[in-house]
């Protein structure tokens, strides 16, 4: 007993271990998550069902925060983060609960280790209650409010202070009431009692999956107690288990050894604490010194900028004064040319002189002045220009330098890699760092919606520890700006140059290529993931060429998506390799696909296919009415827009566009229209009505031409593998 007492620590010093990471309060009915961290029953319930009580709870309500608790409930950063994850959709909600209008969340990140916790269909009921932690919290509460006594639950007024608590009756009693409720010689006398407490725990831990079974084994894979039914045919059937007594002995021995090791290293820990305290003091001093030095540098910059400002403004003022003086003198000179004033008035007075010698003496110089005035009048030229173009100040470079002003230990700003970024319902943002950039702790991605009221407000993601992240909940048919900044030692680098992306006009439609319906394994090569396909030249091409006198023929092989569309608006995107000979992309109904897949695919006439890219009469007629398919021709680095009608002019130049790197298709089933986009800029290049009388499928046709080696293959890669993929 004395040895055990020597290892005990004051309860007050373990308070930080008894705080729930979500509510930042003492644990209340703590539950053990699969990652072995604990959270309050109430916190998990509010998180999983934020607007309703969770019917999966095993306890009828949870204990409210005790007013005598040394800590009061308050907002926690973990709570705010989890709420943001719920709103953004990062926390999954796979289904709807019966008789409930609220989606039930089953997956959420552990606030302690950030690992995803999947509770499955059983929800909270699959979690064990941490009775050990609950007992420690109760002892801590009692130590914190030692002056508050636990009263007897059965006393008549005046109520006496309790001296015992019965774990079977789940009540506290004074001495007299305990004797009355537990008479000697009755089964009640065998009840287990402890000191006064408000924490009543069950005698035996029951299995949450098999409620009538006691846990008697320990699963070493899942690290949780299980019953024999879990091992026989439950979720732990193939897991390695051990007896509860063996697990108890091993874990207790390991924990005791670890505690003894820590206690034996107490001097070392105290030394390290002293070192850390010295480092904290030095950090404060060095931080203040760095702040003063940075302030001095900025003051010097301000002084330099003020000096340059004064000098440049003085130059403008001197030039302005000089020009105004010159123009003022010129004005006075021209005013002298007016009648009865200045030079003209003086000359008129000289003309009144009758003495010839006196007149000649005076008029000679006057005539020279009059001639100069006359010449200046004929060739008018201002003495100074009013423009100050030479004084225009361009500070764009200096502003850029100031924006990039940073400490020597801050990494260079990252650069967003446009070639790897994809923006659909979600945005996949990639960036890279310069080769000589300093190591970074994490990155922050900021984004904002352009062309709206909230354009000026930037939103930020959580910390990103790699060089890519997914930004969720982007509005459809909107333009967003993105930028990235790096952080090292708590100091952020300048932001990367902004880039903008346009989200699709409709929700993303996820599908893969169908390898069963109409797929020709001989002429089409499909990737294992079924997200890319290419046409290949085979023996059938050579055999078919024998039937064609010219040696030229068309062989169009179709492949479709594995998911159809019967309502709503949907968008998908793909990439066609630039060296592809010809690929047709678009949509087709199930009836049209049946016709295509049951007819021969090779013929010597290009008029066989209504949308073959040739100017046949059947093709032009096809586009005058709504058809159950629409296909655009893409190939040889170009995209071909079909004619609007049969009467359209024969000029092909206006209908041939450069092939976009990525092509997007949007089908509005309800409006019976299909749109084709440049997926990088979201510019609509073509639209037309389409007959949506049946189920519509993404359709693709590939053509191979074995006569030209560089164009024997047409390749197409589908970019949207699922509705969540970017």
Rounded average pLDDT over 63-84: 43
Query: Average pLDDT for residues 320-346, to the nearest whole number?
Result: 79
> Cα–Cα distance between 53 and 45 in angstroms, integer?
7
Beta-carbon count within 10 A of 579 CB: 14
**Which of 114-118, 247-251, 271-275 ranks highest by mean pLDDT?**
271-275
pLDDT, position 7: 39
pLDDT at residue 214 in the model: 84
Inside any domain, residue 133 = no
Q: What is the pLDDT of residue 154?
A: 84
User: What are 493-509's pLDDT values in tens digits?
Assistant: 888 989 999 999 998 88
Q: What is the pLDDT of residues 518-556, one digit of tens each?
A: 677 777 888 888 888 888 765 555 555 555 444 445 567
Q: For the chain, give the longest Cα–Cα distance.
A: 163
Task: List the alpha helices (DSSP H) in 7-130.
Answer: 41-48, 77-88
Are 286 and 434 found together in one domain? no
Residue 341, in any domain of the structure: yes
Q: Name the CA radius of gyration of the chain, rounded.
A: 43
Q: Which residue has the higher pLDDT, 588 or 61?
A: 588
Per-residue model confidence (pLDDT) at position 538: 59
Does residue 405 fall inside a structural domain? no
Q: What percent of the chain has pLDDT over 90?
A: 13
User: Would you state the pLDDT for residue 354?
Assistant: 81
Q: Residue 635 maps to which CATH number? A: 2.60.120.920
Report the mean per-residue pLDDT for the chain.
76
Domain assignment present for 724:
no
Q: Are residues 533 and 665 in the same domain?
A: yes
Identify whether 429 is part of a domain.
Answer: yes
Q: What is the pLDDT of residue 648?
A: 43
Do 371 and 284 sit in the same domain of this protein?
Answer: yes
Q: How many CB atoms lie within 10 A of CB 310?
A: 10
State which of 503, 533, 568 marks the end of a domain. Answer: 503
- Percentage of the residues of the chain whose pLDDT score is greater than 70: 75
Model confidence at 456: pLDDT above 70: no
Range of the domain at 663: 524-598+627-642+655-718
Q: Is the pLDDT of residue 390 over 50?
A: yes
- The per-residue b/e assignment along 15-35, b for 16 or more CB within 10 angstroms, e otherwise, is eeebebbbbbbbbbbbbbbbe
Write the pLDDT tens digit of every residue in 395-445: 888 887 887 777 777 788 899 998 888 888 888 999 998 887 788 889 999
Residue 492 is predicted with a pLDDT of 86
Structure tokens at 121: 């269909």
> Is it true that the peptide bond before 158 is cis, omega within 30 degrees of 0?
yes
Last residue of a domain, one of 349, 377, 405: 377
For residues 243 and 704, the model is more confident at 243
468 or 21: whose pLDDT is higher?
468
pTM (predicted TM-score): 0.50
Flag the least confident range among 133-137, 174-178, 681-685.
Answer: 133-137
Q: Give the DSSP per-residue string, 652-711.
A: -GGGEEEPPSSEEEEEETTTTEEEEEETTTTEEEEEEE---SS-EEEEEEEE--TTSGGG
pLDDT at 314: 92
Whether residue 435 contacts residue 411, with contact meaning beta carbons closer than 8 Å, is answered with no
Q: 174 in helix, strand or coil? A: coil
Residues 550 and 581 in one domain: yes
pLDDT surpasses 50 at 726: no
Q: What is the pLDDT of residue 320?
A: 92
Kindly indicate the confidence band of residue 711, based on its pLDDT and cuts at 50, 70 and 90. very low
Is there a single domain that holds both residue 494 and residue 530?
A: no
On whether both 261 and 358 belong to a single domain, the answer is yes
**Angle subtended at Cα 692 by Cα 690 and Cα 698, rounded to the nearest 5 degrees:** 80
In this structure, the answer to whether residues 499 and 533 fall within a common structural domain is no
pLDDT for the residue numbered 481: 92
Q: Which of 470, 503, 536 is the last residue of a domain?
A: 503
DSSP-assigned letter for residue 546? T
- Model confidence band, residue 675 (pLDDT cutoffs 50, 70, 90): very high
- State residue 63's pLDDT score: 35
Q: What is the mean pLDDT of residues 385-390?
A: 86
Q: Is residue 671 part of a domain?
A: yes
Whether residues 541 and 495 fall in one domain? no
Grouping H, G, I as helix, E, B as strand and the rest as coil, residue 720 is coil
Residues 362 and 270 both lie in one domain:
yes
14, part of any domain: no
Q: Are residues 356 and 428 in the same domain?
A: no
Q: Which of 716, 583, 688 is nearest to 629 (CA)?
A: 688
Query: What's the token pair of residue 662?
Result: 């990525």
The CA-atom distances, in angstroms, between 92 and each of 10, 35, 88, 89 are 42, 18, 10, 6
Is 72 in contact with 24 (CB distance < 8 Å)? Answer: no
Could you give the number of structural domains in the chain? 3
What number is the average pLDDT over the span 337-352?
A: 74
Q: Of the given ranges (157-166, 382-391, 407-416, 593-602), which has the lowest mean pLDDT?
A: 593-602
Q: How confident is the model at residue 127 (pLDDT cuts 50, 70, 90)?
A: confident
Q: For residue 433, what are the CA distances in angstroms to 186, 213, 414, 485?
A: 78, 57, 5, 10
Tell whether 677 and 567 lie within a shared domain. yes
Average pLDDT (461-477) is: 89
**Which of 611, 469, 483, 481 lies closest to 554, judged by CA?**
611
As given in the structure block, the two tokens for residue 396 are: 């764009």
The 8 Å CB, 24+ separation contacts for 200-203 are 200/165, 200/167, 200/170, 201/131, 201/134, 201/135, 201/167, 202/131, 203/167, 203/168
Q: Quick one: pLDDT at residue 608?
A: 43
216 pLDDT exceeds 80? Answer: yes
Q: What is the pLDDT of residue 282?
A: 93
Question: Would residue 561 count as lying in a domain?
Answer: yes
Helix (H) or strand (E) holding 507: none
Do residues 371 and 255 share a domain?
Answer: yes
Give the CATH number for residue 421: 2.60.40.10
Question: Looking at 124-163, which runs of residues are DSSP E strands?
Answer: 128-129
Asked which of 24-28, 92-96, 102-106, 204-208 is least confident by mean pLDDT, the reply is 92-96
């Amino acid at each position: 007993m004395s040895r055990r007492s020597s290892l005990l620590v004051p309860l007050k010093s373990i308070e930080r271990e008894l705080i729930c990471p979500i509510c930042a309060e003492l644990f209340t009915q703590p539950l053990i998550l699969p990652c072995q961290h604990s959270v309050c029953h109430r916190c998990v319930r509010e998180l999983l069902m934020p607007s309703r009580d969770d019917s999966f709870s095993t306890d009828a309500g949870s204990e409210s925060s005790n007013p005598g608790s040394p800590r009061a409930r308050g907002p926690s950063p973990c709570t705010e983060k989890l709420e943001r994850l719920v709103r953004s959709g990062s926390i999954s909600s796979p289904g709807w609960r019966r008789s409930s209008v609220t989606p039930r969340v089953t997956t959420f990140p552990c606030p302690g280790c950030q690992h995803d916790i999947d509770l499955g269909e059983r929800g909270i009921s699959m979690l064990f209650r941490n009775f050990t932690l609950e007992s420690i919290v109760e002892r801590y509460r009692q130590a914190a409010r030692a002056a508050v006594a636990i009263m007897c639950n059965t006393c008549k007024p005046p109520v006496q202070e309790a001296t015992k608590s019965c774990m079977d009756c789940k009540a506290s009693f004074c001495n007299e009431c305990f004797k009355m409720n537990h008479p000697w010689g009755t089964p009640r006398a065998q009840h287990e009692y402890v000191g006064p407490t408000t924490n009543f725990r069950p005698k035996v831990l029951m299995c949450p999956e098999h409620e009538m079974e006691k846990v008697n084994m320990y699963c070493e894979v899942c690290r949780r107690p299980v019953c024999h039914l879990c091992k026989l045919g439950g979720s732990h059937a193939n897991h390695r288990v051990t007896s509860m007594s063996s697990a108890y002995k091993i874990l207790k021995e390991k924990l005791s050894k670890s505690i003894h090791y820590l206690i034996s290293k107490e001097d070392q820990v105290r030394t390290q604490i002293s070192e850390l305290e010295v480092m904290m003091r030095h950090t404060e001093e060095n931080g203040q010194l760095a702040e003063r030095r940075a302030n001095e540098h900025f003051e010097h910059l301000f002084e330099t900028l003020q000096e340059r400002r004064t000098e440049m403004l003085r130059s403008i003022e001197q030039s302005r004064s000089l020009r105004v003086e010159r123009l003022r003198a010129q004005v006075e000179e021209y005013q002298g040319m007016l009648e009865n004033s200045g030079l003209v008035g003086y000359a008129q007075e000289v003309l009144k002189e009758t003495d010839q010698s006196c007149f000649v003496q005076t008029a000679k110089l006057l005539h020279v002045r009059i001639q100069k005035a006359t010449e200046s009048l004929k060739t008018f030229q201002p003495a100074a220009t009013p423009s100050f173009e030479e004084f225009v100040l361009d500070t764009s470079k200096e502003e850029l330098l100031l924006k990039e002003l940073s400490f020597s230990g801050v990494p260079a700003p990252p650069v967003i890699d446009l070639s790897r970024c994809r923006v659909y319902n979600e945005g996949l943002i990639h960036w890279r760092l310069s080769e000589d950039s300093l190591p970074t702790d994490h990155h922050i991605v900021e984004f904002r919606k352009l062309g709206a009221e909230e354009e000026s407000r930037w939103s930020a993601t959580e910390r990103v520890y790699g060089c890519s992240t997914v930004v969720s909940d982007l509005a459809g048919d909107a333009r967003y700006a993105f930028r990235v900044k790096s952080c090292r030692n708590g100091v952020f680098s300048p932001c990367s140059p902004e880039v903008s992306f346009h989200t699709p006009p409709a929700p993303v439609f996820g599908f893969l290529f169908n390898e069963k319906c109409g797929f020709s394994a001989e002429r089409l090569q499909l990737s294992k993931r079924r997200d890319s396909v290419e046409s290949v030249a085979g023996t059938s091409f050579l055999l078919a060429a024998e039937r064609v006198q010219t040696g030229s023929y068309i062989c169009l092989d179709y492949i479709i998506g594995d998911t159809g569309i019967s309502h709503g608006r949907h968008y998908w995107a793909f990439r066609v390799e630039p060296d592809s000979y010809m690929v047709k992309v678009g949509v087709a109904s199930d009836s049209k696909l049946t016709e295509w897949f049951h007819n021969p695919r090779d013929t010597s006439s290009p008029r066989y296919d209504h949308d073959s890219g040739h100017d046949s009469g059947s093709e032009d007629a096809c586009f005058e009415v709504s058809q159950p398919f629409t296909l655009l021709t893409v190939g040889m680095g170009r995209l071909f827009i079909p004619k609007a009608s049969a009467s359209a002019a024969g000029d092909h130049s206006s209908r041939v566009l450069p092939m976009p790197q990525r092509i997007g298709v949007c089908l509005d089933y309800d409006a019976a229209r299909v749109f084709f986009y440049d997926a990088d800029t979201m510019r609509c290049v073509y639209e037309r009505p389409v007959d949506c009388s049946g189920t519509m499928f993404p359709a693709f046709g590939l053509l191979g031409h074995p006569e030209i080696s560089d164009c024997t293959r047409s390749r197409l890669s589908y970019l949207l593998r699922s509705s969540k993929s970017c």
